[in-house]
Structure 1
Amino acid sequence: MKEEIVLHGVVLSEHSLREFDKRLQLLTMERGKMTVWASGAKRPNSPLLAGSRSFVFGKFHLREGKAGYTLRSVEVDAYFEEIAKDLEKACYAAYFLELAELVAQENLEAPQMVELLYLSLKALLHKGLKNELVRRIFELRMLMLEGEYTEEPPMPSGKSVQEAWHHVLSVPLGRLYTFTLEEGTLLSFSRNVDYLCKESFPKQFQSLRILKSLGS
């Protein structure tokens, strides 16, 4: 039997299997995107119950077998339960996970992507930041991680948009969410990011459809 491995990451999605089991999609710093089986995780007394939900960040103890990876235990660092209390924020957060699941690759280290997700979910809870701004900063930095970005905004833009663009592309992750934009500047910034996203991420995201129905 192979030894247990410990990986640091986040639960991107969860899917029910049979009556009590789950299939998880993890994003880990060390091995990128992974499919993991969580046996009995839906049982009320299961030690895996709390740590096998979307948005959970922590240390995942796994065992590799012939059929893939099995979750043995989770040391939870963050749940982000507050996000679920606000439908709009929950949709933005779900979109972040959807996008990460789309672009992440198996067996490819993803420490920056995991950190970006964590900081972006924290930013959604910041009362001084608009959800739309958090989304566009997240998207632009994801485009940068994927090598799909442009050094300058792709459309003619004012100085404030250009400065915001350069900030997002150049600062350490910990300083991403340290600015705000006026309404008109945010609209222009959003249009520029959206232009690149439509080219690089041509997928219909369920979370964005729900956001649109909410008028967000």
Structure 2
Amino acid sequence: MKFRTMGLIVKEQSIGEQDKLVYALTATNGIIKAFVRGAKNIKNQKCAATSLLTYSRLTVYKGRESYIIGDAIPERIFSKLRGDVVKTCLAQYFCELAITICPREQNAEEFLKLILNSLYLLSENKRSAKLIKPCLEMRLASLAGYMPDLRMCRVCGEYSCDNMLFLPKSGAIECAECHHENGEMKILLNPSSLTALRHTIYADDNKLFSFALPESDLDVLNEASENYLKYMFEKDFSTLNFYKTIS
């Protein structure tokens, strides 16, 4: 079966001297793993079009057990990211998130749009990395069906207080007065960081990245989002660990 789709290359690896195996986040089929013949030849158009962090128009052939990319035309190459080591590492983390969280064999247009927007904002310095990252993490998880319940304290129903605790393992919040120590990880949220965490999952798509926080509150927001994904997907993201060592 042959189909055409738009896709972002989120992983690539060499196969022999001329070919590549890539993972692409596609609009129509989610994450696919596909072979690309001759893609290591720099004279071949597919070389650039199937490189990491390239958004391309793909012609894909689906076999019984694998996909083959027959043709690829680059639409956008995030070249500015490649010139910055720290941004490249963060972008690779975004790619690992895509492979882990985004669906397979089904429409993933919302996921693709979210990751492309995140890469664009990072590439063009439109927003800080500390703001983009938790927005992407929490919204990706929510799109995949892992939305936490941040509406109110799960015990008393309090909507807001000076000290609210986020419980990443449970995906819930409790006010300090209701919380009983049980060994579960907790992250203290002040009113600003609580509002921001809610914003990452409840805001309209076109307003997702439209807020500002002090640096200290951004640190708390990142701690909350990182640990939430770690518990929900039971994974220690290697690209995130490396990014944190150099950022």
Question: TM-score, normalising length from structure 1?
Answer: 0.90
Q: 1:27-176 alignment to 2 at 5 Å?
A: 27-66=25-64, 68-127=66-125, 129-152=127-150, 153-154=166-167, 155-176=187-208
Q: Which has the higher strand share?
A: 2
Match of 1:10 among 8, 31, 42: 8
Q: Which amino acid aligns with 1:26?
A: A
Unmatched segments (≥5 aa) in structure 1: none
Distance 2:65 2:38 in 1: 17
Q: Which runs of 4+ in 1 moved over 6 A?
A: none
Deviation at residue 160 of structure 1 after TM alignment: 1.2
Of the three residues 167, 187, 193, the one matched with 2:219 is 187
Segment drifting more, 85-94 vs 174-183: 174-183
SS at match of 1:49: helix
Q: Which has the larger radius of gyration?
A: 2
Q: What is the Cα-based RMSD across aligned positions, in Å?
A: 1.8
**Which letter maps to 2:211?**
F
- Which of 176-185 and 34-43 deviates more? 176-185
Aligned residues: 213
- Gapped regions of structure 2 (runs ≥ 5): 151-165, 168-186
- Aligned partners of 1:129 and 1:180 also within 8 Å: no
% identical equivalent positions: 23
Identify the structure with bigger relative contact order (alpha carbons < 8 Å, sequence gap 6+). Answer: 1
> Structure 1 counterpart of 2:210, which letter?
T
In the alignment, is residue 209 of structure 1 matched against residue 207 of structure 2? no
3-state DSSP class of the match of 1:202?
A: coil
Distance 1:65 1:199, change over 3 A: closer
Question: Which amino acid is the alignment partner of residue 78 of structure 2?
Answer: F
TM-score scaled by structure 2? Answer: 0.79
Q: Deviations over 1:64-99 (max 9, x none)?
A: 345532212123221101001111100110000011
The 2-side partners of 1:129 and 1:13 are apart by: 25
Q: Per-residue deviation at 1:46?
A: 0.9
